[in-house]
Protein backbone atom coordinates (compact mmCIF):
# COMPACT_ATOMS: atom_id res chain seq x y z
CA UNK A 1 0.00 0.00 0.00
CA UNK A 2 1.25 3.49 -0.86
CA UNK A 3 1.69 6.08 1.88
CA UNK A 4 -1.35 8.37 1.60
CA UNK A 5 -0.60 10.42 4.70
CA UNK A 6 -0.49 14.16 4.27
CA UNK A 7 -0.39 17.38 6.20
CA UNK A 8 -3.07 20.01 5.84
CA UNK A 9 -3.51 23.13 7.95
CA UNK A 10 -0.68 21.96 10.17
CA UNK A 11 -2.60 18.75 10.93
CA UNK A 12 -1.68 15.16 10.20
CA UNK A 13 -4.21 13.42 7.95
CA UNK A 14 -4.16 9.70 7.11
CA UNK A 15 -5.26 10.51 3.56
CA UNK A 16 -5.77 13.57 1.34
CA UNK A 17 -9.49 12.78 0.91
CA UNK A 18 -11.53 15.15 3.04
CA UNK A 19 -15.27 15.10 3.61
CA UNK A 20 -16.48 18.51 2.39
CA UNK A 21 -18.82 20.72 4.42
CA UNK A 22 -22.24 19.08 4.15
CA UNK A 23 -24.87 17.29 6.24
CA UNK A 24 -22.60 14.21 6.21
CA UNK A 25 -21.17 15.13 9.61
CA UNK A 26 -24.50 15.81 11.30
CA UNK A 27 -24.53 12.21 12.53
CA UNK A 28 -21.50 10.92 14.38
CA UNK A 29 -22.17 7.42 12.99
CA UNK A 30 -21.94 8.73 9.43
CA UNK A 31 -18.67 10.58 10.15
CA UNK A 32 -17.28 7.40 11.69
CA UNK A 33 -18.21 5.36 8.63
CA UNK A 34 -16.47 7.92 6.40
CA UNK A 35 -13.38 7.79 8.59
CA UNK A 36 -13.38 3.99 8.29
CA UNK A 37 -13.68 4.33 4.50
CA UNK A 38 -10.48 6.39 4.36
CA UNK A 39 -11.38 10.03 5.00
CA UNK A 40 -8.41 12.11 6.10
CA UNK A 41 -10.50 14.76 7.87
CA UNK A 42 -14.07 16.01 8.00
CA UNK A 43 -15.36 19.52 7.45
CA UNK A 44 -18.59 20.16 9.30
CA UNK A 45 -21.57 21.87 7.66
CA UNK A 46 -21.39 25.63 8.19
CA UNK A 47 -22.66 27.43 11.20
CA UNK A 48 -24.63 30.30 9.66
CA UNK A 49 -24.70 33.50 11.71
CA UNK A 50 -28.09 34.38 10.21
CA UNK A 51 -29.55 31.16 11.60
CA UNK A 52 -28.10 31.83 15.03
CA UNK A 53 -29.71 35.29 15.03
CA UNK A 54 -33.09 33.98 13.83
CA UNK A 55 -32.95 31.20 16.37
CA UNK A 56 -32.23 33.62 19.23
CA UNK A 57 -35.08 35.91 18.09
CA UNK A 58 -37.54 33.06 17.89
CA UNK A 59 -36.61 31.78 21.30
CA UNK A 60 -36.75 35.28 22.83
CA UNK A 61 -40.28 35.63 21.40
CA UNK A 62 -41.24 32.22 22.88
CA UNK A 63 -39.86 33.27 26.25
CA UNK A 64 -41.84 36.51 26.16
CA UNK A 65 -45.03 34.60 25.31
CA UNK A 66 -44.36 32.28 28.22
CA UNK A 67 -43.87 35.21 30.59
CA UNK A 68 -47.05 36.91 29.28
CA UNK A 69 -48.99 33.75 30.03
CA UNK A 70 -47.61 33.84 33.56
CA UNK A 71 -45.48 30.74 32.93
CA UNK A 72 -42.47 30.03 35.11
CA UNK A 73 -40.77 27.55 32.77
CA UNK A 74 -39.39 30.19 30.37
CA UNK A 75 -36.26 28.97 28.58
CA UNK A 76 -33.58 31.58 28.32
CA UNK A 77 -32.75 32.46 24.70
CA UNK A 78 -29.02 32.54 25.44
CA UNK A 79 -28.89 28.79 26.16
CA UNK A 80 -29.59 25.88 23.78
CA UNK A 81 -30.46 26.42 20.12
CA UNK A 82 -28.50 25.90 16.93
CA UNK A 83 -25.31 27.53 18.20
CA UNK A 84 -25.06 25.27 21.22
CA UNK A 85 -26.01 22.27 19.08
CA UNK A 86 -23.17 23.08 16.72
CA UNK A 87 -20.63 23.46 19.52
CA UNK A 88 -21.80 20.22 21.11
CA UNK A 89 -21.44 18.48 17.75
CA UNK A 90 -17.81 19.61 17.53
CA UNK A 91 -17.15 18.00 20.90
CA UNK A 92 -19.03 14.82 19.92
CA UNK A 93 -17.16 14.48 16.61
CA UNK A 94 -13.84 15.13 18.33
CA UNK A 95 -14.61 12.42 20.88
CA UNK A 96 -15.67 9.89 18.24
CA UNK A 97 -13.06 10.43 15.51
CA UNK A 98 -9.31 10.15 15.27
CA UNK A 99 -9.12 12.29 12.15
CA UNK A 100 -9.19 16.11 12.42
CA UNK A 101 -12.51 17.91 12.68
CA UNK A 102 -12.65 21.17 10.76
CA UNK A 103 -15.54 23.48 11.63
CA UNK A 104 -17.06 25.82 9.06
CA UNK A 105 -18.44 29.28 9.60
CA UNK A 106 -20.50 31.63 7.47
CA UNK A 107 -20.79 35.01 9.15
CA UNK A 108 -22.63 38.21 8.42
CA UNK A 109 -21.26 40.83 10.81
CA UNK A 110 -17.70 41.48 11.94
CA UNK A 111 -18.63 40.75 15.55
CA UNK A 112 -20.54 37.61 14.52
CA UNK A 113 -17.59 36.15 12.64
CA UNK A 114 -15.32 36.81 15.59
CA UNK A 115 -17.59 35.72 18.39
CA UNK A 116 -18.61 32.46 16.70
CA UNK A 117 -15.05 31.65 15.63
CA UNK A 118 -13.91 32.07 19.24
CA UNK A 119 -16.63 29.70 20.45
CA UNK A 120 -15.73 27.15 17.78
CA UNK A 121 -12.07 27.29 18.79
CA UNK A 122 -13.01 26.85 22.44
CA UNK A 123 -15.24 23.87 21.57
CA UNK A 124 -12.15 22.03 20.32
CA UNK A 125 -12.26 22.15 16.50
CA UNK A 126 -8.89 21.41 14.93
CA UNK A 127 -9.24 24.13 12.30
CA UNK A 128 -11.79 26.51 10.85
CA UNK A 129 -12.97 26.84 7.26
CA UNK A 130 -14.45 30.25 6.47
CA UNK A 131 -17.31 29.96 4.04
CA UNK A 132 -17.08 33.34 2.30
CA UNK A 133 -20.36 33.27 0.49
CA UNK A 134 -22.08 36.59 -0.02
CA UNK A 135 -23.80 37.39 -3.30
CA UNK A 136 -22.69 40.88 -4.37
CA UNK A 137 -26.17 41.88 -5.52
CA UNK A 138 -25.75 45.64 -4.96
CA UNK A 139 -24.52 47.36 -8.16
CA UNK A 140 -22.96 50.17 -6.13
CA UNK A 141 -20.56 47.79 -4.40
CA UNK A 142 -17.27 47.35 -6.28
CA UNK A 143 -15.13 44.21 -6.50
CA UNK A 144 -12.50 45.99 -4.40
CA UNK A 145 -14.98 46.60 -1.62
CA UNK A 146 -16.20 43.00 -1.65
CA UNK A 147 -12.63 41.70 -1.50
CA UNK A 148 -11.61 44.20 1.18
CA UNK A 149 -14.54 42.99 3.30
CA UNK A 150 -13.46 39.36 2.94
CA UNK A 151 -9.86 40.18 3.77
CA UNK A 152 -10.87 42.14 6.84
CA UNK A 153 -12.71 39.08 8.17
CA UNK A 154 -9.61 36.93 7.72
CA UNK A 155 -7.33 39.57 9.29
CA UNK A 156 -9.62 40.02 12.30
CA UNK A 157 -9.85 36.28 12.93
CA UNK A 158 -6.11 35.82 12.49
CA UNK A 159 -5.41 38.54 15.07
CA UNK A 160 -7.60 36.77 17.63
CA UNK A 161 -7.15 33.07 16.95
CA UNK A 162 -4.30 30.59 16.71
CA UNK A 163 -6.62 28.08 15.00
CA UNK A 164 -5.54 27.17 11.44
CA UNK A 165 -7.75 28.98 8.92
CA UNK A 166 -8.86 27.79 5.49
CA UNK A 167 -10.87 30.16 3.30
CA UNK A 168 -13.44 28.71 0.93
CA UNK A 169 -14.15 30.94 -2.03
CA UNK A 170 -16.30 30.84 -5.12
CA UNK A 171 -14.95 30.91 -8.70
CA UNK A 172 -16.14 34.41 -9.50
CA UNK A 173 -13.06 36.56 -8.96
CA UNK A 174 -11.45 38.54 -11.79
CA UNK A 175 -8.00 37.67 -10.46
CA UNK A 176 -8.21 34.59 -8.23
CA UNK A 177 -4.42 34.28 -7.84
CA UNK A 178 -4.03 37.85 -6.68
CA UNK A 179 -6.89 37.44 -4.24
CA UNK A 180 -5.38 34.19 -2.95
CA UNK A 181 -2.09 36.01 -2.34
CA UNK A 182 -3.89 38.64 -0.36
CA UNK A 183 -5.66 35.95 1.66
CA UNK A 184 -2.23 34.58 2.56
CA UNK A 185 -1.05 38.07 3.58
CA UNK A 186 -4.19 38.43 5.69
CA UNK A 187 -3.23 35.28 7.60
CA UNK A 188 -5.08 32.41 5.91
CA UNK A 189 -3.33 29.04 5.82
CA UNK A 190 -5.28 27.43 2.97
CA UNK A 191 -7.67 28.31 0.20
CA UNK A 192 -10.53 25.99 -0.71
CA UNK A 193 -11.45 26.26 -4.40
CA UNK A 194 -14.24 26.53 -5.35
CA UNK A 195 -17.57 26.56 -3.58
CA UNK A 196 -20.47 25.56 -5.80
CA UNK A 197 -23.21 28.09 -5.85
CA UNK A 198 -26.67 26.68 -5.95
CA UNK A 199 -28.60 28.53 -8.59
CA UNK A 200 -32.14 29.52 -7.78
CA UNK A 201 -34.53 28.38 -10.48
CA UNK A 202 -37.71 29.93 -11.85
CA UNK A 203 -40.81 27.81 -11.52
CA UNK A 204 -42.59 28.52 -14.83
CA UNK A 205 -46.00 27.41 -13.62
CA UNK A 206 -46.12 29.40 -10.41
CA UNK A 207 -43.73 32.16 -11.56
CA UNK A 208 -41.77 32.09 -8.32
CA UNK A 209 -38.08 31.71 -7.60
CA UNK A 210 -37.37 28.31 -6.09
CA UNK A 211 -34.20 27.00 -4.47
CA UNK A 212 -32.59 24.04 -6.26
CA UNK A 213 -29.75 21.89 -5.05
CA UNK A 214 -28.21 19.73 -7.70
CA UNK A 215 -25.32 17.50 -6.89
CA UNK A 216 -22.15 17.96 -8.91
CA UNK A 217 -20.80 16.20 -11.99
CA UNK A 218 -17.14 15.12 -12.41
CA UNK A 219 -16.78 17.56 -15.33
CA UNK A 220 -16.87 20.40 -12.78
CA UNK A 221 -13.61 19.23 -11.23
CA UNK A 222 -11.61 20.49 -14.22
CA UNK A 223 -12.19 24.14 -13.29
CA UNK A 224 -10.69 23.38 -9.87
CA UNK A 225 -7.80 21.37 -11.30
CA UNK A 226 -6.85 24.23 -13.58
CA UNK A 227 -6.84 26.85 -10.83
CA UNK A 228 -5.04 24.53 -8.42
CA UNK A 229 -2.35 24.13 -11.11
CA UNK A 230 -2.14 27.89 -11.60
CA UNK A 231 -1.92 28.59 -7.86
CA UNK A 232 0.37 25.79 -6.68
CA UNK A 233 3.71 27.15 -5.54
CA UNK A 234 2.74 30.66 -6.57
CA UNK A 235 0.63 31.61 -3.58
CA UNK A 236 1.66 31.05 0.02
CA UNK A 237 -1.34 28.89 0.78
CA UNK A 238 -2.17 25.23 0.81
CA UNK A 239 -4.80 24.39 -1.76
CA UNK A 240 -7.87 22.28 -1.13
CA UNK A 241 -10.14 21.53 -4.06
CA UNK A 242 -13.89 21.01 -3.88
CA UNK A 243 -16.46 20.52 -6.62
CA UNK A 244 -16.91 17.52 -8.88
CA UNK A 245 -14.46 15.09 -7.27
CA UNK A 246 -16.21 11.74 -7.64
CA UNK A 247 -13.69 9.28 -9.11
CA UNK A 248 -10.08 8.30 -8.39
CA UNK A 249 -8.94 9.96 -11.62
CA UNK A 250 -10.49 13.30 -10.57
CA UNK A 251 -8.59 13.25 -7.28
CA UNK A 252 -5.32 12.15 -8.92
CA UNK A 253 -5.49 15.07 -11.37
CA UNK A 254 -6.01 17.55 -8.51
CA UNK A 255 -3.00 16.18 -6.63
CA UNK A 256 -0.87 16.29 -9.80
CA UNK A 257 -1.97 19.92 -10.21
CA UNK A 258 -0.72 20.67 -6.70
CA UNK A 259 -3.73 20.33 -4.38
CA UNK A 260 -2.89 19.40 -0.82
CA UNK A 261 -6.25 17.73 -0.24
CA UNK A 262 -9.36 16.85 -2.22
CA UNK A 263 -12.75 17.46 -0.69
CA UNK A 264 -15.79 15.36 -1.58
CA UNK A 265 -19.48 15.92 -0.88
CA UNK A 266 -21.82 15.03 -3.79
CA UNK A 267 -20.31 11.60 -4.45
CA UNK A 268 -20.68 10.74 -0.76
CA UNK A 269 -24.22 12.07 -0.59
CA UNK A 270 -25.09 9.94 -3.61
CA UNK A 271 -23.29 6.71 -2.80
CA UNK A 272 -22.22 6.91 0.85
CA UNK A 273 -18.85 5.84 2.30
CA UNK A 274 -18.33 3.35 -0.56
CA UNK A 275 -17.62 6.30 -2.90
CA UNK A 276 -14.79 7.42 -0.62
CA UNK A 277 -13.46 3.88 -0.30
CA UNK A 278 -13.35 3.61 -4.11
CA UNK A 279 -11.39 6.84 -4.52
CA UNK A 280 -9.03 5.81 -1.71
CA UNK A 281 -8.46 2.40 -3.29
CA UNK A 282 -8.08 3.89 -6.78
CA UNK A 283 -5.55 6.49 -5.63
CA UNK A 284 -3.54 3.87 -3.76
CA UNK A 285 -3.58 1.52 -6.77
CA UNK A 286 -2.51 4.28 -9.16
CA UNK A 287 0.36 5.34 -6.88
CA UNK A 288 1.61 1.75 -6.66
CA UNK A 289 1.31 1.27 -10.41
CA UNK A 290 3.36 4.43 -11.02
CA UNK A 291 5.78 3.65 -8.19
CA UNK A 292 5.00 6.77 -6.21
CA UNK A 293 5.71 5.77 -2.60
CA UNK A 294 3.97 8.84 -1.17
CA UNK A 295 2.02 11.90 -2.24
CA UNK A 296 5.04 14.21 -2.32
CA UNK A 297 6.51 12.02 -5.05
CA UNK A 298 4.05 13.41 -7.57
CA UNK A 299 2.04 16.23 -6.00
CA UNK A 300 2.34 19.39 -8.08
CA UNK A 301 4.30 17.75 -10.90
CA UNK A 302 1.59 18.96 -13.32
CA UNK A 303 1.32 22.44 -11.78
CA UNK A 304 1.80 25.55 -13.88
CA UNK A 305 5.30 25.92 -12.42
CA UNK A 306 6.39 22.37 -13.16
CA UNK A 307 4.35 21.13 -16.15
CA UNK A 308 6.21 20.70 -19.43
CA UNK A 309 3.56 22.80 -21.21
CA UNK A 310 2.25 25.37 -18.68
CA UNK A 311 0.70 27.40 -21.52
CA UNK A 312 -1.92 24.67 -21.65
CA UNK A 313 -3.43 26.17 -18.49
CA UNK A 314 -3.60 29.58 -20.14
CA UNK A 315 -5.15 31.02 -23.24
CA UNK A 316 -3.32 28.94 -25.84
CA UNK A 317 -5.35 25.97 -24.79
CA UNK A 318 -8.58 27.91 -25.16
CA UNK A 319 -7.93 28.74 -28.82
CA UNK A 320 -6.79 25.20 -29.61
CA UNK A 321 -9.88 23.73 -27.97
CA UNK A 322 -12.23 26.00 -29.91
CA UNK A 323 -10.50 25.56 -33.25
CA UNK A 324 -10.18 21.82 -32.80
CA UNK A 325 -13.92 21.34 -32.41
CA UNK A 326 -15.42 19.78 -35.51
CA UNK A 327 -19.13 19.85 -36.31
CA UNK A 328 -20.86 16.49 -36.74
CA UNK A 329 -21.21 15.91 -40.54
CA UNK A 330 -25.03 15.63 -40.62
CA UNK A 331 -25.79 18.41 -38.12
CA UNK A 332 -27.48 20.77 -40.62
CA UNK A 333 -28.61 18.62 -43.54
C1 LIG B 1 -26.44 19.27 0.66
C2 LIG B 1 -25.18 20.12 0.67
C3 LIG B 1 -24.90 20.93 1.78
C4 LIG B 1 -23.76 21.73 1.78
N5 LIG B 1 -23.50 22.51 2.87
C6 LIG B 1 -22.40 23.31 2.88
C7 LIG B 1 -22.09 24.12 4.01
O8 LIG B 1 -22.80 24.12 5.01
N9 LIG B 1 -20.99 24.90 3.94
C10 LIG B 1 -20.16 24.93 2.85
O11 LIG B 1 -19.15 25.65 2.84
N12 LIG B 1 -20.42 24.14 1.78
C13 LIG B 1 -21.50 23.35 1.77
N14 LIG B 1 -21.75 22.56 0.69
C15 LIG B 1 -20.82 22.58 -0.45
C16 LIG B 1 -19.84 21.42 -0.36
O17 LIG B 1 -19.02 21.53 0.78
C18 LIG B 1 -18.94 21.34 -1.59
O19 LIG B 1 -18.06 22.44 -1.61
C20 LIG B 1 -19.72 21.34 -2.90
O21 LIG B 1 -20.85 20.49 -2.81
C22 LIG B 1 -18.85 20.88 -4.07
O23 LIG B 1 -18.32 19.61 -3.84
P24 LIG B 1 -18.98 18.28 -4.49
O25 LIG B 1 -18.95 18.45 -5.94
O26 LIG B 1 -18.10 17.17 -4.00
O27 LIG B 1 -20.37 18.20 -3.98
C28 LIG B 1 -22.89 21.72 0.67
C29 LIG B 1 -23.17 20.90 -0.41
C30 LIG B 1 -24.29 20.11 -0.43
C31 LIG B 1 -24.54 19.23 -1.62
Cα(239) to ligand 1 centroid in Å equals 17
Does the CB atom of residue 23 touch ligand 1 within 6 A? Answer: yes
Position 328 in a domain: no
CATH of residue 16's domain is 3.20.20.70
Substitution site in 18, 19, 22, 244 for ligand 1 pocket (most atoms within 8 Å of beta carbon): 22
pLDDT in tens, the chain (333 residues): 999 999 999 999 999 999 999 999 999 999 999 999 999 999 999 999 999 998 888 888 888 888 888 875 555 555 569 999 999 999 999 999 999 999 999 999 999 999 999 999 999 999 999 999 888 899 999 999 999 999 999 999 999 999 999 999 999 999 999 999 999 999 999 999 999 988 899 999 999 999 888 999 999 999 999 999 999 999 999 999 999 999 999 999 999 999 999 999 999 999 999 999 999 999 999 999 999 999 999 999 999 999 999 988 987 667 777 888 888 888 888
Does the CB atom of residue 21 touch ligand 1 within 6 A? Answer: yes
Asked whether 251 and 38 are in contact (CB, 8 A), the reply is: no
- The single-letter DSSP state of residue 7 is E
Domain encompassing residue 18: 6-323
- The single-letter DSSP state of residue 246 is -
Position 181 in a domain: yes
Alpha-carbon distances of 321 from 218, 219, 318, rounded to whole Å:
19, 16, 5
Position 211 in a domain: yes
Total H helices, total E strands in the chain: 11, 12
Note if the pTM is more than 0.95.
Answer: no
Domains: count for the chain: 1
Position 332 in a domain: no
Amino acid sequence: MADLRTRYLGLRLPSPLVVAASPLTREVACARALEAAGAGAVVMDSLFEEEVIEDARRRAADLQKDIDRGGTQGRHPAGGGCLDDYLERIAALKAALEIPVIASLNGVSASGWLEHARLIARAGADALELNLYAIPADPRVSAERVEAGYLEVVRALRRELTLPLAVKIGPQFSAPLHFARRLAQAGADAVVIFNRFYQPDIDLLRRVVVPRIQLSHPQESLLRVRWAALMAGRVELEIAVTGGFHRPMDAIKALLAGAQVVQMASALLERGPEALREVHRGLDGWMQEHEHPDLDAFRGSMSYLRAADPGGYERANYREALHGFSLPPDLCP
